[in-house]
Amino acid sequence: MRQIRIILLSLLVIAAFTAFVLHRSSQLVPLASAAQPRPAPPTVASIVDCEISSIEQQILDVAEAMPEDKFNFSPEHLNIPGSEYKSVRSFTVQLKHVAASNYFIWSHLTGDKLPDGLNDGNGPERLKTKAGFILFLKHSFALGDKAAGALTTDYMLQVAQRSKSTRLHIAEFGISHASDRYGQMVEYLRMNGIVPPASRGKSD
């Protein structure tokens, strides 16, 4: 009988300990889950904003890579036989054109007033320094971030103000336009013996 009582007592202790462990585990699991929240699912706004941030960084990298004394470079200066580069935009004007176009395009979505001196898309004449050009670019892409943030499900397929296109189309057109100019500025770097930042360490 003594052995039976010892066995029963042992079983009761084991059962009580197991119940305690299970109870504590049920309390800790929610805490662990709360400490690691799941990321928010992607939206049209977040995807477009990511695309805008990506092309912004690529263009800023190109602008930083070009020496300031080369900012007025144009392929016209090379006098390449058989080429036709007469009156094409200089590197500086390419940068200003991207920024000015960003304002023209994305203001349709945000309603922001255009800054002075955009000059039909070639940007303010008052800008003279590399730092000034880069700041102008950053401000214009900030407007793109604002435009992307407004692309809700109901809003994005509506026709934008002063336009015949949907807001989503206009947001994406801004990205497409900036990407086109980026491709041209990459060639300006190469014409000056500079490997574009995005190609460094990679095979061309």
For position 163, what pLDDT does the model report?
Answer: 82
Quote the DSSP letter at residue 197.
Answer: G
Contacts of 45 (CB under 8 A, 6+ apart): 148, 149, 150, 151, 152
Distance between CA atoms of 141 and 44, rounded to whole angstroms? 18
Distance between CA atoms of 41 and 182, rounded to whole angstroms? 30
**pTM strictly above 0.95:** no
Domain edges within the chain: 1-38, 44-197
Tokens of 140: 């214009």
pLDDT of the chain, 204 residues: tens digit per residue: 544 444 334 434 344 444 444 455 555 445 445 567 788 888 999 999 999 999 999 999 999 999 999 999 999 999 999 999 999 999 999 999 999 999 999 999 999 999 998 988 899 999 999 999 999 999 999 999 999 998 988 889 898 877 889 999 999 999 999 999 999 999 999 999 999 999 988 655
Class of 44-197 per CATH? Answer: mainly alpha
